[in-house]
Chains A and B, each alone.
Chain A
């Protein structure tokens, strides 16, 4: 009987991914030291907790925000009614970039990719009817994170919630902005100062708040491979831990509240292996490199978002299937928190129907599939354990290279990270264009009939409304006080003092996001990235 030819000359997990054998056996995991740690046991490969989802499911946390605070507040309440268990705020680009809605650069962007927040009253109204002292909120904000966190603290205080009660996260990760997400304002050094200002402030005042969400998601979306996503994120993590230590902070005083954020792409086994390898490598870094004594400093906690760029504009219902597989990977990988994309991802912000189905995907996984009922159910699979070891090796190789360059910050300044990501992105495009990497409905099994979907639309009235709100705010506040406080912001920024207290004062005086950002620009200047193309 003749041997049948295999479907491909070479099988890899993804383009530029790991080579995949025809079959795996116990021999594939005997060459490396077998990691026999239990869930909840260092190095936490299987799970940071021994109980996993048996005690508490992952947080179902859908990234949302658009147009005005009223409309976003309505969507948040809808999501909560539909069963999500944590909030996740998407801010529009002007807020992320330190511009008010009436700035010339802001005008075409108001309310389009997130909620418009210009001032403390906006933040207060965003949470109308939602008790900040009782919920968990993740805010995707980076360059202006200190200002937005100050607003959240002030809004909570007005509701009667002390900052020590507050639960949630600010993304606050500028290093990945320079290489992937591109919403930085200032240069790397002042950005590190502001990031660590937040981390120090939270370590001292907000024990339930995650001061940073060190992110790989965006680098993956920019084209990085799974190993690159993991390695570059941990390299950034090393830089942040070191920066905190350089500020005189004991590692165990802040590391338990460092959190992470990764993507879940389509290759199920590679993704699960990636999450397990990440936990193992980070635990070792924290113990061996930084001498952490508290086990909680060694535990990698992370949020996952299913991969946005894997979703297609063509045949959008296929995306429901992709998201289900990706969410399964996240859950099998024992994530703490999960956002599932909506099937209209490539077309618009999620419609109500689409986001409901995204949430249902998580709920079906949680309650019907059984995968949440035992910890690390795929542990022991020859393929999975081998992949976990291979990804661990890949991560360590990159970290060694980055160490040699002088650390993540230096690697970014030299363009090393950017070039690696862009090369992977280009190889992926070439593979898809050549048909070597199939994308169902896009380069294979295509169809002509377009699906008519009801898409979410943002109209120009949002801009007018925000401009009116700003006008009202500025005429109603004590402008002399605002002027004084902005001077104080500049003074503190120039010093080595933590900026958080003065920023909380400033937002309470109703200084706007744009005004405070401009004060910081006066001190730090704006960063123009040198072209790496």
Chain B
């Protein structure tokens, strides 16, 4: 069972500046009892991966509303995996066409949360995924 506080890093890769979503999600996850590091905007995939490793987070949330999600999310995941074997959950949000979701999931995004998603849905998903993961770890 996950007993310590869930640590989440939220960031926006690329040049997109729309941050209302990420800021609201960050605050909402904090209210749900998680420790949230909001890294900010205009970050490279490498910067996000580096910070996530340093902060030893359990979850990495990425947001992109400018349409660059396929390249930017997968690069972030690859950059992270090159340097860390920790099993983290990647989630994504923004403006993501439904037809891109399979490719995102194949690259390592566990779930996407688009416009209209209630915050508790994201919080529940994270908790459930981490429970699943820790169950897997118990032999």
A contact residues vs B (CB 8 Å cutoff): 93-94, 96-97, 99, 105-109, 112-113, 177, 181-183, 221-223, 309, 312-314, 346-348, 422, 425-426, 429, 432-433, 439, 442-443, 450, 455, 457-458, 529, 531, 533
Is there an interface contact between B67 and A113, defined as CB atoms closer than 8 Å? Answer: yes
Tell me if B66 and A109 are in contact (CB < 8 A): yes
CB–CB A109/B15 < 8 A: yes
- Asked whether, in the complex, the Cβ of A93 is within 8 Å of the Cβ of B66, the reply is yes
CA–CA, A109 to B15, complex, Å?
A: 7
With a CB–CB cut-off of 8 A, which chain B residues contact A106?
15
Q: Name the residue in A113, A221, A432, A457 with the highest tally of chain B Cβ atoms < 10 Å from its Cβ.
A: A113
CA distance A212 to B23 in the complex (A): 29
Shortest CB distance B102–A (Å):
15
Q: Which residues of the partner chain A approach B116 to less than 8 Å between Cβ atoms?
A: 312-314, 439, 442-443
Decide: B40 and A433 in contact? CB cutoff 8 A: no
Give A348 to B99 CA distance when docked, in angstroms: 12
One of B1-9, B24-32, B77-85, B127-135 at the interface: B24-32
A108-B71 in contact (CB<8A): yes
Q: Would you list 26 pairs from A and B whose C-beta atoms are within 8 A, ordered by A residue?
A: A93-B15, A99-B15, A105-B14, A108-B68, A109-B14, A109-B68, A181-B17, A182-B17, A182-B18, A182-B41, A182-B42, A222-B19, A223-B24, A312-B115, A314-B116, A347-B95, A425-B20, A425-B24, A426-B23, A426-B28, A429-B28, A439-B116, A450-B98, A455-B97, A457-B97, A529-B40
A458 in complex: contacting residue of B16, B26, B67, B115, CB < 8 Å? B67
Q: Are B19 and A182 in contact (CB under 8 A)?
A: yes
Contact A93/B98 with A429-B24, A458-B67 known, Cβ cut-off 8 Å: no
Q: Which residue of A lies closest to B120 (CB)?
A: A433
A93, B42: Cα distance in complex, Å: 11
* Most chain A CB within a 10 A radius of its CB, from B20, B38, B71: B20
Cα separation A93 to B64 with both chains bound (whole Å): 12
Given A106-B15, A108-B68, verify A348-B97 contact (CB < 8 Å).
yes
Q: Which residues in A have their C-beta under 8 angstroms from that of B68? A: 108-109, 112
Q: Is the CB of A348 within 8 A of B95?
A: yes
Shortest Cβ distance from A452 into B: residue: B98
Which A-B residue pairs are the 8 nearest by beta carbons?
A182-B17, A108-B68, A112-B67, A93-B15, A108-B71, A442-B116, A433-B118, A313-B115
Closest A-chain residue to B38, C-beta based? A533
12 other A-B residue contacts (CB within 8 Å) besides A113-B67, A426-B24: A96-B15, A109-B66, A112-B67, A182-B18, A182-B19, A221-B20, A347-B97, A348-B97, A422-B27, A429-B119, A433-B120, A442-B116
Whether B44 sits at the interface, judged by CB under 8 Å, is yes
Kindly provide the distance from the CB of B105 to the nearest chain A CB, expressed in whole angstroms.
Answer: 18
The total of Cβ contacts below 8 Å across the A-B interface reads: 88
Separation of A181 and B42 alpha carbons in the complex (Å)? 12
Q: A182-B41, A426-B27, A531-B40 are in contact. Are A433 and B119 (CB under 8 A)?
A: yes
Report yes or no: B95 in contact with A346, Cβ–Cβ below 8 A.
yes
Asked whether any CB of chain A lies closer than 8 Å to the CB of B108, the reply is no
Contact among A97, A182, A313 for B114, CB-based, below 8 A: A313
* Chain B residues near A443 (CB-CB < 8 A): 116, 118
B14: chain A residues at CB < 8 Å are 93, 105, 108-109
Closest residue on chain B to residue A526 by CB atoms:
B42
Residue of B with least CB distance to A418: B23
Q: Is B72 among interface residues, defined by CB-CB distance under 8 A?
A: yes
Chain B contacts of A182 at CB under 8 A? Answer: 17-19, 41-42
B113 CB, min distance to chain A CBs, angstroms: 11
Whether A422 lies near B97 (C-beta < 8 A) is no
> Which residues on the B side are within 8 Å of A314 (C-beta)?
116
Asked if B23 contacts A422 (CB within 8 A), the reply is: yes
Q: Tell me, rounded to whole Å, the shortest Cβ–Cβ distance linking A108 to chain B.
A: 4
Q: How far is the CA of A181 from the CA of B19 in the complex (A)?
A: 8
> In the complex, which residue of chain B has the Cβ closest to the Cβ of A314?
B116
Which chain A residues border B23 with CB–CB below 8 Å?
Answer: 422, 425-426, 533
CA distance in complex: A343, B85 (Å): 43
**Chain B: CB-nearest residue to A221:** B20
- Taking CB as reference atom, which chain B residue is nearest A312? B116
A346 near B115 (CB under 8 angstroms)?
Answer: yes
User: A533 and B26: CB pair below 8 A?
Assistant: yes
Cβ contact within 8 Å between B17 and A183: yes
**A223 — which chain B residues lie within 8 A by C-beta?**
20, 24
Contact residues in A for B44 (Cβ distance below 8 Å): 105
User: A182 to B40, alpha carbons, bound, how many Å?
Assistant: 11
Q: With the chains together, A431 CA to B23 CA distance in Å?
A: 16
Contacts of B97 in A (CB 8 A): 347-348, 455, 457
